[in-house]
Amino acid sequence: MPHLVLEYTGNLALDVQPTLLKLNQALVASGHFEENAIKARAVRLDNYLVGTAAEAKRAFIALRLAILTGRTLEEKKSVSDLLGAAIQKDQSWPKDLQVQITVEVVDMQRETYFKVALQ
């Protein structure tokens, strides 16, 4: 915990590993998460549609951060803002695409979450 999932449309040339590192660093900098507890992954979407205009040049990045219950709304908003800023920083988006970026912070039930670290 936390679990970070970055979904991005296949029409974006996203350099995944540096992007995930930047996002993980933002989470550590927030002071809410231990460095070795963050599990981040990226999923490239080749089948997608933004809106109804299939010919429109659109793309998106959707970040979903799942964290254990117990954080305040203000803490979640702060982390959401940090991730939003981190994903935009140092990126050069294609000029011919409208890129939409979203961040969602969701709660995982502490009582039903299982974790074990082997070694």
46 is a domain residue: yes
pLDDT at res. 45:
98
Torsion region of 11: left, alpha or beta (phi above 0 gives left; psi -120 to 50 gives alpha): alpha
pLDDT at res. 23:
97
pLDDT at res. 31:
95
Instruction: Give the pLDDT means over successive 10-residue stretches in the chain (119 positions).
Output: 96 94 96 95 96 90 97 96 93 89 96 89
Q: For residue 2, say if its preceding peptide bond is cis, omega within 30 degrees of 0.
A: yes
- Number of domains forming the structure of the chain: 1
pLDDT at res. 1:
85
CA 37 to chain centre: 15
119 is a domain residue: no
pLDDT at res. 90:
77
116 is a domain residue: no
Question: Which CATH number does the domain housing residue 74 bear?
Answer: 3.30.429.10
pLDDT at res. 91:
80
Domain range for 99 is 3-108
